[in-house]
Amino acid sequence: MATTEATLEAPEQALAPEHVPHDKLVIMAWSGDLDKIWPTFILGTTGAAMGMETTIFFTFWGLFPLVRNDVHITGENWMQKMMSMMNRGGTEHLKLGKMNFVGAGPAMMKKLAEEHHVASPAELLEVARDLGVHLVPCQMTMDLLGLTKEDLIEGLEEPAGATSALLEARDAVTLFI
Amino acid sequence: MATTEATLEAPEQALAPEHVPHDKLVIMAWSGDLDKIWPTFILGTTGAAMGMETTIFFTFWGLFPLVRNDVHITGENWMQKMMSMMNRGGTEHLKLGKMNFVGAGPAMMKKLAEEHHVASPAELLEVARDLGVHLVPCQMTMDLLGLTKEDLIEGLEEPAGATSALLEARDAVTLFI
Amino acid sequence: MATTEATLEAPEQALAPEHVPHDKLVIMAWSGDLDKIWPTFILGTTGAAMGMETTIFFTFWGLFPLVRNDVHITGENWMQKMMSMMNRGGTEHLKLGKMNFVGAGPAMMKKLAEEHHVASPAELLEVARDLGVHLVPCQMTMDLLGLTKEDLIEGLEEPAGATSALLEARDAVTLFI
């Protein structure tokens, strides 16, 4: 009986069992490198502009670009402080994952992007917020690194964990970047 | 009314508009770095705890953490042996993908994790096995590196290849980490 | 009739709406490293051989392996030329993401692959084209790096952007490598 009802309600499923396209996009932004943050924000803002409900979970190194550019050192104990010193946060302090050349690589990359009218990470972050992209920091990473809400930029959603990320991912295009 | 119009324009969308959420999780664990193995195991165990059927395919560098901690050198020829020496396997010998600092980075990370009650990779591996996560080593990588079943930890499933991984991925949330 | 038969064979599908398996595979090939290009091509060709409609979007560093092996320097201005010199394109000039050892790592890896009859990236690229894998270069990256169609190998599709990639990804298994 249930079968008949289902058939009446949704006959097209039996006729052409097409996969229903996802209208959600979930990015797990693990890397904080300039060359990974760029695709993260470009894909995130593009998805949102296309009408996909878009969520970016920032975890591990991916949390550093969300640190306010005017915050120098974060953390409560010496280990956390040392890690923040070695890897200063903020969109203005991103490094390339390869060919960094003590900062020359990112400078060149940014110059090239400017010349070709490709938005900077800081601009794309702004666009993402304007387009309603959900920007969610990972609670566990914040605890590990001793990051507080005050250390992070405005406009983020409540910190969440792996369970929230996977719940969102269940019916979304999901990228681990 | 809007519904009726939509139905006329695209009836299948109005009848079955929802994407059926995935209840499977597939992780292709390519990296053996501590900072990637952590999210691999955290997402894997979280997915399994949420009731998702979870499979982790360990390939390339991702296979090294599955080497038994008491196995020093693996491989049959000098190239394979040299690679295992430069990149010793086992969950106790993982390095960070960045900020490794000759081992100081991983030590700090592990200390921070301990203080914040975040489980270690070895503990998470144990939890994964208890939760029934399918841990599958990549056959081709084992061949390439000269790894035998005896080199690897207990509780793994039969080695498999890209075809098996993609077959699992076809109806799963899939992450390449 | 087909509907009735299907219902008889698999009634649980109608009762509990199962996720329809994807028959498409989309890979966003961000990395140009030998150890990432390998899984990119192995998964891409395996997916195509399994009958999945497969598309690989080559973006950022991932574009370099598509540069013709006989092209030495690409780009129009000194920055683009310098980047192409530091990171020469072509499948014959790929480096490992880790354990590169000034070229010894890739040489060993290629030797091991040869001994175990694992196809090289160049061979897999050939197979991919034969199997009808859609190979799509990222337009924005080409602009950034000053790459022209003449710099790239034959058999690629028209350059495209993030919107095309996400449109394909909406009903596909999607991997960011």
Q: What is the pLDDT of residues A140-162, one digit of tens each?
A: 999 988 899 999 999 999 999 99
Among A141, A140, A9, A168, CA closest to A64: A141
Whole-Å CA distances, C130 to B117, C52, C127: 52, 14, 5
C134 contacts chain B (CB < 8 A): no
Cβ separation B165–C43 shorter than 8 A: yes
Q: Tell me the count of A-B CB pairs closer than 8 A.
A: 84
Q: How much is the pLDDT for B158?
A: 97
User: Most B CBs within 10 Å: which of C12, C13, C19, C50, as the mutation test of the B interface?
Assistant: C19
Q: Tokens 């395996």 label which residue?
A: C46
Cβ separation B169–C173 shorter than 8 A: yes
Q: How much is the pLDDT for B7?
A: 39
Q: How much is the pLDDT for B102?
A: 60
Among A176, A171, B5, A59, CA closest to C171: A171
- Please report the DSSP string for A22-60 in residue order: P-EEEEEE----HHHHHHHHHHHHHHHHTT-EEEEEE-G
Q: How much is the pLDDT for B13?
A: 43
Q: How much is the pLDDT for C31?
A: 94
Of B17, B46, B111, the CB nearest to A163: B46
Q: What is the mean pLDDT of residues C162-167?
A: 97
Whether the pTM exceeds 0.90: the reply is no
Residue B70: band (very low, low, confident or very high) from pLDDT cuts 50, 70, 90 = confident
User: Residue C6 pLDDT > 60, yes or no?
Assistant: no
Residue B73 identity: I
Instruction: Measure C4 CA to nearest chain A CA, in Å.
Output: 9
Residues, chain C: 177
Could you tell me which chain B residue has the CA closest to the CA of C99? Answer: B86
Sequence-separated (6 or more) residues with CB below 8 Å from residue A86: B99
Q: What is the mean pLDDT of residues B81-102?
A: 75
A86 contacts chain B (CB < 8 A): yes
Sequence-separated (6 or more) residues with CB below 8 Å from residue B44: B25, B27, B54, B56, B124, B128, B133
b/e code B100-137 from CB counts within 10 Å (16+ = b): beeeebbebbeebbeeeebbbbbebbbbbbeeebbbbb
- Residue B38: list chain A partners with CB under 8 A: 60
Rg (CA), chain A: 20
**Per-residue pLDDT tens for A89-112?**
888 888 877 666 666 677 777 777
Residue A174 is given by DSSP the state E
Residue A18: band (very low, low, confident or very high) from pLDDT cuts 50, 70, 90 = low
User: Residue B122 pLDDT > 90, yes or no?
Assistant: no
The ipTM (two decimal places) reads 0.82
Residue B75: band (very low, low, confident or very high) from pLDDT cuts 50, 70, 90 = confident
Higher pLDDT, C18 or A133: A133
